A and B are shown apart, each in its own frame.
Chain A
Amino acid sequence: MSCERFEDQLADDLGGELSGSSRLEFESHLRRCPSCRQEAETLREVVSTLDALGLPDVGPPPVRSARFWRVARRSLAYAAVLGAGIIIGWSAKSPALQQDVAPSSDVAPIRLAQFGPVHPEWLSTGSHSEAPGRGGAIVRNLSTFTRALGDAAASP
């Protein structure tokens, strides 16, 4: 066997796919050629090092069923709806926004003022759901709705 032929068979050797007469021929060449022997031994060590990273013994993989993914998707949707509700509620009670969208123009088809009057105490209240008017009601209803859906999703 020549050194070029050795090169061809080296991948088979490293991959554990060299057998029969080819292996005998390969090993015979290694005994005769120090440089090829050195090369083969070094690369076998690399494979051996990689192989040392065995699988840890941890048992079967945790099962995440299709139901898990359904609930996860649903929860994300609830969070998005709740977030939108909070934004709507906040914008409804913001005096600055009311002033912005209540221009003196004749065309005012939608005005945030229709959600109700602005009360100064809203500015000090800690929760949007405590706010009176339609904005607060939206947030309250969304919270109730989300809780009910969450309960339904959690029930078997």
Chain B
Amino acid sequence: MTGPVRSDGAVDRQVNPMDAFESHRSRVFAWALRFVRNPHDAADLCQEVYLRWRRASRHTAVIQRPAAWLRRVTVNLAIDLVRARRREAVRPTLAGREGGVLLGAEQCELEVTIAAALAELTDVQRSVVVGKVYDGLTYARIAEELGLAIPTVKTHYLRAIRNLRPLLAAYAPENADTLEHVR
């Protein structure tokens, strides 16, 4: 019996999209959770990603790089959600969390700042940063998932970190107290 994910990592549309998605579901949830910080929002986001996955599976013969596709879509949706929350100034998920309201507000500020900063990157740069910093993948693994050469991935990472530097200036060493509070 053929599995949902082919030997080259691609997903064939002949197989049930739910089965193919299931093998990545915990990673999708983790990506979403890291940004939205709330399991229910993360689960809703997983559902949205799954629906998009289904649509993409219908319209594309083969999803060549499922992990990269899912990471990109999930992180983009999560960032959109965090930024929308910021616009609405509604942060119910952080109220009453461990550390009190002040810590929640600072943590929220960090989340929003990072989400806004990542939103400024290109899709590839964002995928590389998330893969490296949050998934702890090697450059070789990221290169394989994205279908790029390893030196290219390193270049994207370095450019991304440099692009993020001014955007995360509030958390620079001279403002280290801010970061220590939220850790």
Contacts and interface: CB of A to CB of B under 8 A. Distances in A.
Nearest to B30: A55
A49 B43 contact: no
B49 to A, nearest CB: 12
Nearest to B28: A61
Contact of A61 (B46, B173, B182): B46
Interface stretch (B4-12, B56-64, B83-91, B162-170): B162-170
B37 interface: yes
A51 B133 contact: yes
What size tier do the contact residues of chain B reach?
35 or more
Contact of B34 (A12, A14, A53, A69): A53
Interface in A29-72: 41-43, 45-56, 58-59, 61-62, 64, 66, 69
A56 B33 CA distance: 7
A11 interface: yes
A134 B138 CA distance: 67
B110 interface: yes
B111 A53 contact: yes
Interface residues of A, number: 28
Interface string B144-177: 0000000000110110011011001001110000
A51 B132 CA distance: 10
A57 B26 CA distance: 14
A49 B171 contact: yes
B110 A52 contact: yes
A69 B18 contact: yes
Given A14-B161, A45-B172, A59-B39, 12 more contacts: A11-B157, A15-B157, A42-B165, A42-B172, A47-B161, A48-B179, A50-B114, A50-B134, A50-B168, A52-B110, A58-B33, A61-B30
A64 B25 CA distance: 10
A130 interface: no
Contacts of A14: 157-158, 161
Contacts of B33: 55-56, 58, 61
